Structure 1
Amino acid sequence: MSANSKSAISPRSISAKFPFWAQIVTGLVLGALLGWIARSQDIGWLYTALDKVGHLFVQLLKLAVGPLVFFAILVSITNLRKVNNAARLASRTLLWFMITSLIAVAIGLTIGLITNPGAGTGLTPKDGKLPEHAGSWLDFLTGIIPTDVVTPFTELNVLQIVFMAAVAGIAALQLGDKAKPILTLSESVLELLQKALWWVIRLAPVGTVGLIGYAIADYGWDLIGKYATFTADVYIGCALVLFGVYPLLLATVAKVNPLHFFKGAWPAIQLAFVSRSSVGTMPVTQKVTERLGVPKEYTSFAVPFGATTKMDGCAAIYPALAAIFIAQIFDVQLSIGDYILIAFVSVIGSAATAGLTGATVMLTLTLSTLGLPLEGVGLLMAIDPIIDMVRTATNVAGQALVPVLVAAREKILDLDAYNAAKASPVDAVDADEKVAVPVAA
């Protein structure tokens, strides 16, 4: 075969003809169609197949979560030694995490108070059921410290994994040169895990068919109709944060063109929408943030930190709306003090979401703090897969946004790289470039 023929069927040419975002959209459409067919025609084997495909994709993502989080946090903390004013950068990052979370929860509360999502749904308290695992402040605080080093990985307790990784990272910094062999090994293991996760990410279009198809086949449009206002509220709230608040912050705080941010960060945002996992999307988020001009040393700290604590969708907008929704179903009147508590829980308790699919722990934490019935969680579980997609996309966008804001404020943002996002579509594959985002295999 000639060189020209080889070039004609190269991965780059395939990517140009059918880019990753188009594969995702195709998966969404095909999944919705198959889900509707499975439900309307009562095709059992198709229902099962969609369930298995979606389940396997999520399981493959989760398979790497434990070790990926551990080594990402460990390496990110130790990488701070390479950054000037590391303590200042870390504190500014945390500050902007809190500021954007407060804005998001305020938007969620405002939308909920205007639309009354729990009114006229036809749902009653008897429709709810207690969650299998409820969260409380005591559980949250005592649950940070593991009883052993194995269980957090087998039970996938991300918060405990983050704690162990932080302790190991700080200890490595204290040891200095003596810790170099461990750090070298950790960096190699992290690269290996990220490489393996790229293979899983390439399966996202197929996983999309299963996840969306199963959601439609299992829940149907009738059930979604009962939650229409609440679902619309979540999507509107996330859209306002994504396409209103974030661009405004980029234009006024970072003083950069917001369009370049979205063009650069879009691969991570679209993958988050499909996978519903901030941690599973983390390698993509980190790569696109670097390509937006944020220094790699700072990105390797800020993105893993954000993937486990920065949740504007799951931990701010969603619990605010959910609390109002459940209070209205159970006929409980919320006071101004309750709304302040929701904001407090959203900012302080974000780590409870741990970057995994779903936000049940965060919701139970919010409800238990407010004294609302935990049976309300059961009311929202049916609709969770549909709203979790936009929540996670918002999470990931925020995780890429804050490093850009901080880097711009600290004058370390590479503006040439940031502006080049317009001319360099990041879903194009370059076999020689490690930061390329995935396309179909």
Structure 2
Amino acid sequence: MTAPSSAAPSSDAPTGQTPRTRSRLRLPSFGVQVLLALVLGVALGLLARSIADPAPDQADALTVTLATIGSTFVTLLKALVPPLIVTAIIASIANLRAVTDAARLAGRTLLWFGITALASVLVGITLGLVFRPGLSTTLTTADAAEPSRTGSWLDFITGLLPANWLGVTAGTSLQQADGAVTGATTSLSFNALQLVVIALVVGVAALKVGPAAEPFLTFNRSVLAVVQKVLWWVIRLAPLGTVGLLGNAVATYGWDLLGPLASFVAAVYVGLAVVLFVLYPVLLRTHGLSPVRWFAGAWPAIQLAFVSRSSLGTLPLTERVTVRNLGVPREYASFAVPFGATTKMDGCAAVYPAIAAIFVAQVFGVQLSLWDYVLIAFVSVVGSAATAGLTGALVMLTLTLSTLGLPLAGVGLLLAVDSILDMGRTAVNVAGQTLVPTIVARRAGILDVERFASSNAADPFADDDAPVAADERERVAVTA
């Protein structure tokens, strides 16, 4: 006798009754979710501005809620970046044992970082001379203010050498009231470049140790898998984070600040658009790759970078799309993408400082010579590495201004629109961090061209646990 099955088909329901079927809610793709979140964020931001409290130092509840949602999302991402950088680079170095020409790959990566940075800064210089933003602004030197943080060529040394094995630094800020110190707050932050150096040293040491280091490398791979899984959970919250980040930006800044700096903002965004939609596609075409397929594969990371304004916060997704969508080998991408997140900044370190330096020179009535423009190009190509320990567009700008001998107080003229510009700058930064590994892999003959050309490459979460992902983990024998 056979017991009746408990999983009887729903079609056995009595006649006249509709069979019950289980169906999963099919959500839009990640890109569509982010686009919808962009629209919702702008709408909520405008609503927050319309109901804002007239009191000067008080924010309404909606603005506070949006700010909290956005900052929490970015904090979660940044909190998981340090273990990702360390474990991913150690694992990639272990896998690079099968790569016959790893040193050449690293050298080509640095070379293409420099080539794209040089092309980007030339775009910025050209647009700065065409738009002449400093001559069309209503701001004067009286509106200038010294920046709170500056960049220096010595930052490369201090940023490269780890202060401790965790790459963590502590900073203390004083709280004042009525001119008296009422308290102090200590915060911890990590230096991404130092983490890269630490991971490189540990990975190479593990290879030199030999078989005795295999348990450590196995443990590292397990930690990496766990960290990546948690990161994908956090990144799936990106649409919610987008609503908070963009809504808070609109509620806080609106469009009122664009008036005096409209020409400058336009010049920067035109420059970013030229780099993203003209320069990068031309480079892809010259290497026989479709710009449309590259945009489709990299777009989720570019979107997240635009709203989060953080290359490091976008790093997990940047590496994800570079491997799964663009066909770059994981062993190479896990080195190139984190390294690029600290040093590859075509938006922050090339286009923006070039136009901003020309703007400051025009406001202060300083005539720049041909040698000054050469210095701007030099700082953009080399300076991003020099200030990698202190990532940020303002740091790069102060380094550029100090190299040219321009007043650092000019930075204060641009702070009002920095948040608006930072969205576009970060998007271009991340786009370049996916572009260079793709080009280098193509030139080395290790790019998975079929995966790059796949029509299903737009969603970074597609088939996340499918056998394809397992195949990628097994694919460690890469030949250059």
Deviation at 1:223, TM superposition (A): 0.5
How far apart, in 2, do the equivalents of 1:379 and 1:95 lie? 34
- Aligned residue number for residue 173 of structure 2: none
Match of 2:394 among 360, 370, 377: 360
Does residue 1:28 correspond to 2:61, yes or no? no
Match of 1:113 among 119, 125, 129: 129
Contact 2:92 2:330 in 1 (8 A): no
Do the aligned partners of residues 98 and 357 (structure 1) sit closer, same or farther apart at CA in structure 2, a change above 3 Å counting? closer
Does residue 1:8 correspond to 2:23, yes or no? yes
Contact 1:73 1:305 in 2 (8 A): no
Do the aligned partners of residues 266 and 143 (structure 1) sit closer, same or farther apart at CA in structure 2, a change above 3 Å counting? closer
SS in 1 for 2:381: helix
CA deviation map 1:143-196 (0-9, x unaligned): 422333346263222232223223223323333333323222222222222222
> Which residues in structure 2 correspond to 1:174-323 (within 5 Å)?
174-252=208-286, 254-291=287-324, 292-323=326-357
Deviation at 1:381, TM superposition (A): 2.5
Q: How does the TM-score come out when normalised to structure 1?
A: 0.89
Does residue 1:124 correspond to 2:140, yes or no? yes
How far apart, in 2, do the equivalents of 1:434 and 1:141 lie? 44
CA deviation map 1:58-80 (0-9, x unaligned): 21122123332233333333432
Mean Cα deviation higher: 151-160 or 427-436: 427-436
Do the aligned partners of residues 282 and 155 (structure 1) sit closer, same or farther apart at CA in structure 2, a change above 3 Å counting? closer
How far apart, in 1, do the equivalents of 2:224 and 2:144 lie? 42
- Aligned residue number for residue 439 of structure 1: none
- Aligned residue number for residue 146 of structure 1: 162
Does residue 1:373 correspond to 2:407, yes or no? yes
How far apart, in 2, do the equivalents of 1:125 and 1:386 lie? 22
SS in 2 for 1:413: coil
Contact 1:80 1:301 in 2 (8 A): no
- Aligned residue number for residue 42 of structure 1: 52
- Aligned residue number for residue 373 of structure 2: 339
- Aligned residue number for residue 429 of structure 1: 462
Contact 1:357 1:388 in 2 (8 A): no
Q: Give 2:216's aligned amino acid.
A: I
How far apart, in 1, do the equivalents of 2:273 and 2:340 lie? 20
Contact 1:136 1:369 in 2 (8 A): no
How far apart, in 2, do the equivalents of 1:5 and 1:416 lie? 41
- Aligned residue number for residue 114 of structure 2: 98
Do the aligned partners of residues 161 and 298 (structure 1) sit closer, same or farther apart at CA in structure 2, a change above 3 Å counting? closer
How far apart, in 1, do the equivalents of 2:356 and 2:285 lie? 31
How far apart, in 2, do the equivalents of 1:274 and 1:350 lie? 22
Contact 1:309 1:355 in 2 (8 A): no
How far apart, in 2, do the equivalents of 1:427 and 1:172 lie? 31
CA deviation map 1:250-290 (0-9, x unaligned): 111x2122211111121111111122222222222222222
CA deviation map 1:3-29 (0-9, x unaligned): 99776315xx22xxx222222122222
SS in 1 for 2:466: coil
- Aligned residue number for residue 70 of structure 2: 54
Deviation at 1:127, TM superposition (A): 2.1
How far apart, in 1, do the equivalents of 2:206 and 2:52 lie? 57
Bigger Rg, which one: 2
How far apart, in 1, do the equivalents of 2:228 and 2:141 lie? 44
How far apart, in 2, do the equivalents of 1:164 and 1:6 lie? 54
SS in 1 for 2:135: coil
How far apart, in 2, do the equivalents of 1:45 and 1:290 lie? 41
- Aligned residue number for residue 69 of structure 1: 85
CA deviation map 1:92-147 (0-9, x unaligned): 11111111111011101111111012222211223232222222112332342233
Q: How does the TM-score come out when normalised to structure 2?
A: 0.82
Q: Give 2:50's aligned amino acid.
A: S
Mean Cα deviation higher: 230-239 or 283-292: 283-292
Contact 1:204 1:274 in 2 (8 A): no
SS in 1 for 2:160: coil
SS in 1 for 2:433: helix
CA RMSD of aligned residues (A): 2.5
Deviation at 1:360, TM superposition (A): 2.3
Mean Cα deviation higher: 349-358 or 86-95: 349-358
Contact 2:37 2:242 in 1 (8 A): yes
Contact 1:352 1:361 in 2 (8 A): no
How far apart, in 1, do the equivalents of 2:20 and 2:291 lie? 40
Mind listing any 5+ residue stretches in structure 2 that lack a counterpart? 1-6, 11-18, 54-59, 170-187, 470-480
CA deviation map 1:406-440 (0-9, x unaligned): 222122222222211x244425632523888xxxx
How far apart, in 1, do the equivalents of 2:20 and 2:146 lie? 61
Contact 2:309 2:422 in 1 (8 A): yes
Q: Give 1:198's aligned amino acid.
A: W
Contact 2:30 2:459 in 1 (8 A): no
Q: Give 1:313's aligned amino acid.
A: G
How far apart, in 2, do the equivalents of 1:162 and 1:307 lie? 10
Q: Which has the higher helix share?
A: 1
Mind listing any 5+ residue stretches in structure 1 that lack a counterpart? 437-441
How far apart, in 2, do the equivalents of 1:214 and 1:87 lie? 45
How far apart, in 2, do the equivalents of 1:83 and 1:150 lie? 28
